[in-house]
Amino acid sequence: MRLFVLFFAVVILYTTASAKDIKIFESDYYNRLKVKYAKDRYMAVMIDDGIPAVSIQKSVVDFAIGLLGIRYRFGGETIWGMDCSAFVQKVYSMAGIYLPRTARYQAKYGMYVSREDLQPGDLLFFRTYARFPSHVGIYIGEGKMIHASSAGKRIMISNIDKDFYLRNFLFAKRLFLYDPEEITDEK
């Protein structure tokens, strides 16, 4: 077990260090904006140029698969146990994209995507214990998502067409990278 943990820690350190550092939500530029409208616009407007690139999407899925089997723990944020939103936050941060901690706030970012247009790396939001998004998973293709499941007690892959997920599905979002120079006039 110790060997596995050591190997896992080395993999996370290597992948985190080698990922491009793309701060889209808490950048110095964003923090310099004074007007709430400019901040909201910075977070909401996407550049329609094919971003996220296939490499970012592939990285997100690869990082997510690397965390398979970690125990589910509500409120957990470590390799000893994590919940769904901590899992998503960790995976995206490994790819260099920084998201808020909870599913409810993660759901505020990105562009809505229909179920028919899902691509690997898209976020899937569900209602479980509340009306607002309270569960999140990462779409990996072929009708499957990877998520930290409280029912399965671990990070696992599930079919999104299962009755539970169909009944509780709220929406899907695709994260884009932002170019602050093109989406705000504030200097």
Q: Is 164 a catalytic residue?
A: no
CATH architecture of 2-177: Alpha-Beta Complex (3.90)
What local confidence, expressed as pLDDT, does residue 38 receive?
A: 63
What local confidence, expressed as pLDDT, does residue 54 receive?
A: 56
What local confidence, expressed as pLDDT, does residue 59 receive?
A: 86
With CA atoms as reference, report the closest residue to 134 among 173, 99, 162, 102: 102
Q: Is 84 a catalytic residue?
A: yes
What local confidence, expressed as pLDDT, does residue 118 receive?
A: 94
User: What is the pTM for the complete model shown?
Assistant: 0.69
Q: Which residue has the higher pLDDT, 47 or 71?
A: 71
Catalytic one of 84, 107, 140, 160: 84
Catalytic one of 90, 147, 173, 174: 147
Average pLDDT, the chain: 78
Distance (Å, whole) CA 139 – CA 110: 14
Distance (Å, whole) CA 24 – CA 65: 23
Residue entry with tokens 């009755």: 163
Return the exposure string of 98-135: e unless at least 16 CB atoms fall within 10 Å of the residue's CB, then b: ebbebbeebbebbeebeeeebebbbbbbbeeeeeebbb
Q: Is 147 a catalytic residue?
A: yes
Catalytic one of 83, 87, 135, 139: 135
List pLDDT tens digits, range 99-109. 999 999 999 98
